[in-house]
Amino acid sequence: MSYKPPKVWKMDEENGGKFASINKPTAGARFEKELPRGEHPFQLYSLGTPNGVKVTIMFEELLAAGIKEAEYDAHLINITEQDQFSSGFVAINPNSKIPALLDYSNDKPIRVFESASILLHLAEKFKILLPENTPERTEVLNWLFWQMGSAPYLGGGFGHFYAYAPEKMKYPIDRFTMEAKRQLDVLDQQLEKNEYIAGSNYSIADIAIFPWYGMLVKGELYDAFEFLQAKEYKHVIRWADQLLKREGVLKGRLVNKTWGNENQIIRERHSGKDFENIDISYKPSAH
């Protein structure tokens, strides 16, 4: 089907895409509402999507490492209900996307948005999961920013056209499948030579990459395991399995989830007790 763009683009309210109802070509608050605030120094406003769980994995890793100062409240931002467009949320992230964080542990609260910025902020604050010396630190940052530049092609490109678009179109699916497979091959070659993404130590680069590419090769994203022949990326699978043994990863991936088995999701997290009746083990989906 061919499409000739008009002289001036106009928004088509009825485009039928899965998330069409929340999309508008303008930014800013759509309604007045303050955000809730819990008792901990870190207030996270998020949802258990791959971008969201990067941050909850980070917090659970910090807590698993015994850093009590990293206690956090994770408030639910339901993006399909447009919570990301409240005046309170827009004040901490003018880009209206989860995750967003308020850090009250300083004299004045600091707002932090963009998942990599949040990971970096926490790693620097607690001096953990980011090496201090320059060559190793730079390699972690290389992969952290690789993820931020690459994942939109996987999520907004491949995932959108393969799983969410109202009709299946060959051109964008071919283009973004090729890119998704190329990115998986980049990771596979890196993980053939290295235990973790940035070398021999686990870091914030692993935390950023795992929820997208680790979950993809485990068949948990877009139901695309067979289509992408994900079994070929055996080093990425080995690494994902290794991460799925970590308490921080297992716990973090359940926080701010609104879907899945009731005993494996935590809609809002306000203390470690929220995990008491939760089964944190990884249960693979069939594929």
Residues that bind ligand GSH (CB under 6 A): 22, 49, 51, 79, 84, 96-99, 114-115
Query: In the complex, what is the shortest distance from the CB of residue 156 to ligand GSH, in angstroms, rounded to a whole number?
Result: 8
Closer of 154 and 237 to ligand GSH (Cβ): 154
Minimum CB separation from ligand GSH for residue 7, in Å? Answer: 28
Q: Considering beta carbons, is residue 79 or 91 the nearer one to ligand GSH?
A: 79
Q: Which tokens sit at 279?
A: 């089964």
Nearer to ligand GSH, 199 or 253 (CB): 253
Contacts 24+ apart (CB under 8 A), 163-169: 163/18, 163/222, 163/223, 163/224, 164/17, 164/18, 164/19, 165/17, 165/18, 166/15, 166/16, 166/17, 166/18
Which amino acid is it at 243? Answer: L
Token output for 131? 């090496």
CB of residue 207 vs ligand GSH: minimum separation in angstroms? Answer: 12
Q: How far is the CB of 85 from ligand GSH (least distance, A)?
A: 7
Say which residue the tokens 């920013």 belong to: 145
Q: Considering beta carbons, is residue 93 or 237 the nearer one to ligand GSH?
A: 93
Instruction: In angstroms, give the least distance from the CB of 21 to ligand GSH.
Output: 10
How distant is the alpha carbon of residue 176 from its chain centre? Answer: 19
22 vs 173, beta carbon nearer ligand GSH: 22
Q: Which residues of 181-209 are buried (b: 16+ CB within 10 A; e: fewer)?
A: bebbeebbebbeeeebbbbebbbbbbbbb
